[in-house]
Amino acid sequence: MTPIPDDLIRHLQQVRHLVIFTGAGVSAESGIPTFRDAQTGLWAKYRPEQLASPEGFHADPQTVWDWYAWRREKCLAAEPNAAHLAIAELERRLPRVTLITQNVDGLHQRAGSSAPLELHGNIHHLKCFACRRDGGDWPDDVRTIPRCRCGGRMRPAVVWFGESLPETVLGAAAEASQHTDLFLSIGTSSLVYPAAELPFLAKRHGAFVVEINPQPTPLSARADLCLQGAAGEVMAALLATNT
């Protein structure tokens, strides 16, 4: 089991408000490929912008819809891993935890996390491409794109290239990051802004910032502690210290 430094154990025991920030590395341990890794086989001939942009959907809505239907099936077939489960358990044990995720797969909720701040949306939900009205869940028959009552086509409720992160969610994430005393950045490359700014924001406001990732990232030099390893292994070890 991964050794957890005494300094982190002490911070976890004394924490008043823990912020956990997760990225694609957490989902990868459940077998969910990253966006570009998923562009294999039938999808290899498309550019990312063709499959995940408003312009791509406007030009060829059926192809984009089929791509997301395929990706959603991959998410539904995956199971929460040890990192998801440890995070959900920490939420139950600690006085205040804010979970912020860049992932759209819904695995945090399936592991037991109640209300993650989903910066990039959720692949299991829909919204109208025209009026942006909430479209609820996907239909049972995913072959045909459903229509909104305004007549517009439904699309996955995820953030595409060229779109801004949802203001209310990003605002809540920034607020939490400014008022945390312990910030865990787990499985994220720290390259995609504005989400990547959150651990630096926490650091500027006095938080103890911990990075958990297999490889160094731009955050590594600024974090108070870097634990190199798989998210599931490190988080299981960290949970074991909080008994």
Q: Looking at the annotation, which residues are catalytic?
A: 120
Edge to edge, what strands does the sheet with 208-212 contain? 117-118, 97-101, 18-22, 182-186, 208-212, 225-227
Residues with Cβ within 8 Å of residue 74, at least 6 apart in sequence: 31, 32, 33, 38
- How buried is residue 12: exposed, middle or buried, by Cβ count under 10 Å (0-12/13-18/19+)? buried
